[in-house]
Amino acid sequence: MAKKPGKSLTQLGQTASIPSSPEEAVLERVANPHSDTNYVARFTAPEFTSICPVTGQPDFAHLVIDYVPGKWLVESKSLKLYLQSFRNHGAFHEDCTVAETLVPKWIRIGGYWYPRGGIPIDVFWQKGKLPAGVWVPDQGVAPYRGRG
């Protein structure tokens, strides 16, 4: 997957192209001004796309990323470019949903995939232990009945 977050920002405030693959993408980070407080940050990508590595057909998902940051926050432009790097990349749903490169206190990713071949394949992943007392809202994506 993507390279580990770097120490200096190279994409924010700069012209940046979409990386040709997730391996070339760089997830950047910024210092968390509230690192002594446990809270949930959420990114929602309702138009995530990738390519099936077997058929070459496009796959579409609604991704919801919830995380409790530690010392660092994920810089949102670099995350957007990282997610866009999957557009022309062949990967199974599971490969697109599991993100081992982030290092927060806790992370949960819900990959709500639109059906292809009549079957939706939703993938859920989390890592770390949710700190006590942290409220995590429902991801807000209904079970499949025709997304939308």
Contact 38, 20 (CB under 8 A): no
Residue of 36, 59, 66, 122 marked catalytic: 59
Least confident of 29-38, 48-57, 90-99, 102-111: 90-99
Question: Using CA atoms, how far apart are residues 6 and 28, in angstroms rounded to an integer?
Answer: 5
Q: How far is CA 137 from the centre of its chain?
A: 17
Class level of CATH domain 29-128 = alpha beta
Contact 5, 28 (CB under 8 A): yes
**pLDDT at res. 145:** 65
pTM: 0.83
The pLDDT-based confidence of 118 (bands split at 50, 70, 90) is confident
How confident is the prediction for the chain on average, in pLDDT?
A: 85
Residue of 52, 66, 95, 122 marked catalytic: 52
Question: Using CA atoms, how far apart are residues 20 and 27, in angstroms rounded to an integer?
Answer: 14
Catalytic status, residue 96 = no
Catalytic status, residue 66 = no
Task: Average the pLDDT over 85-91 and give the result.
Answer: 86
**pLDDT at res. 6:** 46
Per-domain residue ranges of the chain: 29-128
